């Protein structure tokens, strides 16, 4: 029986790509339209990372405005329409991402994305960043009936990419990613430069990295696959 390849599954926003600038800019379009003060990019870490609806609710809450679902729904639609048109104005892959993806791919790893961003927008962003072809599967909100932190989201992503669930590792930047991986029984590496209001080291990932240059050692060590990979 042919052994399936080890697999790395990445979150997208705050993990593979720095997207806060475009997300906050879109939020600010809505706030300005509603006559509310805009938020500074420095507020991104506490606002971004849980999806468009949460970003909008948090942004309005900073201005003392609690949104009802009836008011939030049209704001989400407007947010997504504007964001899609400006999805990569400022967004970029984090330093070292391309080289890391190349190294793992050349060594025989499968690569996938598991994000709570709508799948269509995740694919569009990765196309704009010229990275979409690096991944065997790109799964986002709407791909499956559930989303992170439900562990089935990660397991189904691994399956879609043709990876080995027994040799799978999650790379993320938030509690959601860490909880998802742990519930799925997979080790997790957290980047410390993403979008979270709690330091990722406090969330007990298996390893924390500060640059993608550190991912090779972390992943191969946690997966115990150094003897598998091609050199």
Contact 193, 13 (CB under 8 A): no
Q: How many CB atoms lie within 10 A of CB 130?
A: 11
Q: Domain-by-domain residue ranges, the chain? A: 5-18+91-223, 20-85
Q: What is the per-residue pLDDT across 142-197, written as a single tens digit (0 to 9) for each?
A: 999 999 999 999 999 999 999 999 999 999 999 999 999 999 999 999 999 999 88
User: Looking at 11, 13, 18, 177, which residue is catalytic?
Assistant: 11
Contact 201, 208 (CB under 8 A): yes
> Is residue 11 annotated as part of the catalytic site, yes or no?
yes
Q: What angle do CA 168, 145, 153 make, to 5 degrees?
A: 10
Global confidence as pTM: 0.93
CA distance 135 to 21: 24
- Please state which architecture CATH assigns to domain 20-85: Orthogonal Bundle (1.10)
Q: How is residue 39 written in tokens? A: 């938020």
**Would you say domain 5-18+91-223 falls under CATH 3.40.50.1000?**
yes
Q: What is the per-residue pLDDT across 16-56, written as a single tens digit (0 to 9) for each?
A: 999 999 999 999 999 999 999 999 887 777 788 778 898 99
């Amino acid at each position: 029986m042919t052994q399936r390849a080890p697999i790395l599954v990445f979150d997208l926003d705050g993990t593979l790509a720095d997207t806060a600038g475009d997300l906050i800019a879109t939020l600010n379009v809505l706030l300005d339209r509603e006559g509310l003060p805009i938020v500074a990019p420095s507020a991104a870490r506490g606002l971004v990372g849980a999806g468009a609806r949460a970003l909008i609710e948090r942004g309005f809450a900073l201005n003392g405005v609690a949104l009802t679902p009836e008011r939030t729904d049209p704001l989400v639609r407007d947010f997504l329409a504007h964001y899609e048109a400006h999805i990569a104005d400022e967004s970029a892959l984090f330093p070292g991402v391309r080289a890391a993806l190349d190294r793992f791919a050349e060594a025989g790893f499968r690569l996938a994305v598991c994000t709570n961003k709508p799948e269509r927008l995740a694919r569009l962003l990765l196309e704009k960043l010229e990275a979409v072809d690096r991944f065997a599967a790109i799964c986002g909100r709407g791909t499956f009936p559930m989303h992170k932190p439900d562990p089935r989201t990660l397991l189904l992503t691994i399956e879609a990419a043709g990876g080995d669930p027994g040799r799978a590792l999650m790379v993320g930047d938030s509690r959601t990613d860490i909880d998802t991986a742990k519930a799925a029984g997979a080790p997790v590496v957290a980047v410390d430069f993403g979008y979270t209001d709690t330091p990722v080291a406090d969330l007990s990932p298996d390893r924390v990295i500060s640059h993608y240059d550190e991912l090779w050692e972390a992943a191969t060590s946690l997966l115990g696959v150094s003897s598998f990979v091609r050199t």
